[in-house]
A = this chain, B = another copy of it.
Amino acid sequence: MKKILILGGGFSGIYTAKNLQKQNLDGFEIELISDNNYFIFQPLLPEVASGTIYSSDAVTPIRQMLKGIKYRNAEISGIDFKNKKVSILQGFKKSTHFIDYDHLIIALGQVSNLDIVKGLKDHAFTMRSLQDAYDLRNHILGCLELADVTSNKDLKKRLLNIVVIGGGFSGVETIGEIKEMIDRLIPYYSSIKKSDLKFHIVEFADQLLPDMDKKVGQYTLKKFKKNNINVHLKTALEEVTQYQVFLSDKKNIATHTVISTIGSTVSKLIKDCNLSLQHGKIITKGSLEVEGLDNVWAVGDAALIPNKDKKNMLYKKKKIAYAPPNAQFAVRQGKLLAKNIKAKILGDNLSDFHYTSKGSLASLGSRDGVGKIFFITVKGFVAWLIWRAFYLSFLPSFATKIRVLTGWIVEFLVPRNAVMTRALKNDAVAYQNFKKGDVVFKEGMIADGFYIVTKGSFKNTFTKTSSGKKFTKFYKVNDHFGARVLLSGSRRTGTIEALEDSKVVKIDRDTFKVMNKHFIPIKDYFTNYIKDNFKKLD
Contacts and interface: CB of A to CB of B under 8 A. Distances in A.
Interface stretch (A53-61, A202-210, A348-356): A53-61
Given A64-B188, A73-B146, A94-B448, A410 B419 contact: no
Contacts of A338: none
Contacts of A92: 142, 146, 256, 424
Interface residues of A, number: 86
A419 B96 CA distance: 24
Nearest to A424: B92
A291 interface: no
Interface in A187-227: 188-190
Contacts of A446: 77, 89, 94-96
B420 A37 contact: yes
Contacts of A148: 72-73
A414 B403 contact: yes
Contacts of A420: 36-38, 73
Interface string A136-177: 000001100110111000010000000000000000000000
B93 A441 contact: yes
Nearest to A524: B521
A27 interface: no
A393 B353 CA distance: 57
A255 B93 CA distance: 15
A376 to B, nearest CB: 35
A410 B415 contact: no
A414 B406 CA distance: 12
B67 A188 contact: yes
A293 interface: no
B94 A421 contact: no
A454 interface: yes
Nearest to A416: B399
Given A92-B256, A95-B445, A452-B519, 12 more contacts: A63-B189, A64-B418, A72-B149, A73-B146, A77-B446, A95-B446, A96-B446, A428-B508, A429-B514, A478-B520, A507-B514, A511-B511
19 contacts: A37-B419, A54-B56, A56-B421, A57-B417, A64-B188, A73-B146, A91-B150, A92-B142, A94-B446, A399-B414, A399-B417, A402-B413, A403-B414, A406-B410, A428-B508, A452-B518, A452-B519, A480-B519, A507-B511
